[in-house]
């Protein structure tokens, strides 16, 4: 799988906005404009790292916007947009991504589908950007005797309003930016155009507009208020097999047993199922995608790390966890005596009341692999309000 990084450009001071507070730090329904897109990129299953380019004078505002999100530390922007993007790209070199998406921090409503469309079109010698066709009649003007007069009508066929994120192969766009150091650019695709490389248009969204004026902000607030809250469900399932050992870890609680569970991490099968259920509810992939078993850093890892990552991700999207329901399936060990302790652990990790947490256990009547005491299976369901 190609590694995809995102650079969110949010270094502007927003002169056109007419307030002290830059537009990317204005709030919409209690959420900062910049936070919305950061959280969406963080939750996207094909994106591995997200970094913002900011004005360090606004560091405190940024910290609030990014609180709890799994983003790389921000880097400082430059004097122009081009310089800011260049600094951001250079800082991403150590992440060694294949693809980079460059996004405008003042476009809060970018969604998974649009991101998918861009990523799917990026390849060597080809960038991709979302755009919407121009439907208004476009006129060009001239100034004469203090009045603005129409000069002529511009052919509107093949005219597009372009948006972000714009996607490129990382090495190619970095090289292009290094080649134009210091020039003023309004977008990144123009560098590819100059080099004669292809830039493919994918379907943009009217909702993916940029907040530039107070009017835009009011439109954004109205849009969020009109969106009904929805309920989401997710489910997860996992199995680990028994191996040598003296205890098993289930829902973060160590339970003495004459066997252990085999696995790359601490093999907490219940937390793995629950983590998958949370990721599933927001379409954010699965635990293996976020924590590849091939990476040695997760060896023997406490599975609460995985769960907390998923919790941070769903909360970042503005979701509230309504309830979770876990069933562990095994003949032995017996779970009942540990149920309360498990509920308390989960209550802490999920930041929800114990009354919203259910832990159950069952056997398969000595049938199948759990019946033969070869391992433990767990399934989990969650519901969220988002
Ligand atoms: Mg597992």
- Could you tell me the distance, in angstroms and rounded to a whole number, from the CA of residue 184 to the centre of ligand 1? 50
CA 74/CA 51 separation, integer angstroms? 6
Residue 184's pLDDT is what?
A: 81
- Of the candidates 175, 170, 169, 176, the one whose C-alpha atom is nearest the C-alpha of residue 190 is 176
Residues in the 5 Å CB sphere of ion ligand 1: 238, 272
pLDDT in tens, 77-124: 999 999 999 999 999 999 999 999 999 999 999 999 999 999 999 999
Ligand 1 centroid to residue 261 C-alpha, Å? 10
Task: Find the 337 Cα to ligand 1 centroid distance in Å.
Answer: 23
Distance 235 CA to ligand 1 centre (A): 14
Q: Please tell me the distance from the alpha carbon of residue 213 to that of residue 192, in angstroms, as a whole number.
A: 29
Of 344, 348, 341, the closest CA to residue 307 belongs to 348
DSSP classification of residue 123: B
- State in Å: Cα 328 to ligand 1 middle: 13
H/E element holding 140? strand 138-144
pLDDT of the chain along its 386 residues, tens only? Answer: 899 999 999 998 855 566 678 999 999 988 999 999 999 999 999 999 999 999 999 999 999 999 999 999 999 999 999 999 999 999 999 999 999 999 999 999 999 999 999 999 999 999 999 999 999 999 999 999 999 999 999 988 899 999 999 999 999 999 999 998 778 888 999 999 989 999 999 999 999 999 999 999 999 999 998 888 889 999 999 999 999 999 999 999 999 999 999 998 999 999 999 999 999 999 999 999 999 888 888 888 899 999 999 999 999 999 999 999 999 999 999 999 999 999 999 999 999 999 999 999 999 999 999 999 999 999 999 999 98
Which are the contacts of 253, defined by CB distance < 8 A and separation ≥ 6? Answer: 338, 341, 342, 345
Q: How many residues does the chain have?
A: 386
- Centroid of ligand 1 to alpha carbon of 123 (angstroms): 33
118 CA from centroid of ligand 1 (Å): 32
Can you tell me the distance from the alpha carbon of 177 to that of 174, in angstroms, rounded to the nearest whole number? 5
| Ligand 1: centre distance to CA 275 (Å) | 10
Q: 250 alpha carbon to ligand 1 midpoint, in Å?
A: 11
Contact 130, 163 (CB under 8 A): yes
CB–CB of 324/382 below 8 Å? yes
Residue 371, classified by CB atoms within 10 Å of its CB into exposed (0-12), middle (13-18) or buried (19+), is middle
What is the distance in A from the centroid of ligand 1 to the CA of 66? 29
pLDDT, mean over the chain: 94
Helix (H) or strand (E) holding 255: strand 253-256
Nearest to 361 by CA among 335, 337, 325: 335
Q: Residue 116 and residue 74: Cα distance in Å, rounded? A: 24
Q: How far apart are CA 265 and CA 225, in angstroms?
A: 42
Say how many Å lie between the CA of residue 240 and the centre of ligand 1: 6
8 Å CB contact between 90 and 12: no
Place of tokens 């951001």: 88
pLDDT of residue 335: 94
Q: How many CB atoms lie within 10 A of CB 125?
A: 11
Dihedral sign (CA 113, 117, 122, 123): positive
Task: Please give the model's pTM, rounded to 2 decimal places.
Answer: 0.87
Name, in order, each residue with C-beta under 8 angstroms of 2's C-beta and a sequence gap of 6 or more.
Answer: 98, 99
Taking the centre of ligand 1 as the mean of its atom positions, its distance from the CA of residue 297, in whole angstroms, is 15
Read out DSSP for 288-317? HHHS-TTSGGGTT--THHHHHHHHHHHHHT
CA of 230 to the centre of ligand 1 (A): 29
**Gap from CA of 378 to ligand 1 centroid (Å):** 9
**Spacing, Cα 267 to ligand 1 middle (Å):** 6
Residue 312 CA to residue 297 CA, distance in Å, equals: 20
Question: What does the pLDDT read at residue 12?
Answer: 85
């Amino acid at each position: 799988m190609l590694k995809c990084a995102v650079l969110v450009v949010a270094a502007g001071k927003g002169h056109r906005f007419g307030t002290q507070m830059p537009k990317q730090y204005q709030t919409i329904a209690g959420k900062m404009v910049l936070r919305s897109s950061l959280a969406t990129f963080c939750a996207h299953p094909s994106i591995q790292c997200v970094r913002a380019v900011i004005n360090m004078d606004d560091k405190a505002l940024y910290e609030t916007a990014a609180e709890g999100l799994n983003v790389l530390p921000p880097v400082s922007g430059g004097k122009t947009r081009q310089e800011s993007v260049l600094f951001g790209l250079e800082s991403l070199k150590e992440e060694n991504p294949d693809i980079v998406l460059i996004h405008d921090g003042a476009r809060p409503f970018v969604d998974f589908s649009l991101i998918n469309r861009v990523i799917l079109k990026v390849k060597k010698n080809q960038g991709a950007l979302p755009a919407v066709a121009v439907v208004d009649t476009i006129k060009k003007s001239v100034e004469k005797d203090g009045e603005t007069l129409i000069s002529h009508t511009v052919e509107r066929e093949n005219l597009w309003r372009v948006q972000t994120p714009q996607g490129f192969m990382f090495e190619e766009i970095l090289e292009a930016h290094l080649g134009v150091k210091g020039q003023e650019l309004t977008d990144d695709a123009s560098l590819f155009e100059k080099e004669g490389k292809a830039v493919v248009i994918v379907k943009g969204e009217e909702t993916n507009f940029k907040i530039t004026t107070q009017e835009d902000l009011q439109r954004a607030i109205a849009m969020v208020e009109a969106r009904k809250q929805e309920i989401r469900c997710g489910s997860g399932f996992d199995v680990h097999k028994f191996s040598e050992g003296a205890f098993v870890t289930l829902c973060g609680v160590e339970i003495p047993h004459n066997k252990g569970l085999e696995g790359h991490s601490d093999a907490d099968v219940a937390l793995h199922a629950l983590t998958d259920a949370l990721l599933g509810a927001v379409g954010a992939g699965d635990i293996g995608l976020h924590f590849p078993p091939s990476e040695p850093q997760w060896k023997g890892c406490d599975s609460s790390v995985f769960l907390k990552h998923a919790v941070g991700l769903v909360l970042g999207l503005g979701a509230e966890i309504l309830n979770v329901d876990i069933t562990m399936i095994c003949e032995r060990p017996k779970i009942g005596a540990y149920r309360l302790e498990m509920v308390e652990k989960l209550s802490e990790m999920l930041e929800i009341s114990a009354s919203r947490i259910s832990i159950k256990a069952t056997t398969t009547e000595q049938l199948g692999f759990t019946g033969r005491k070869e391992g433990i299976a767990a399934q989990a369901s969650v519901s969220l309000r988002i």
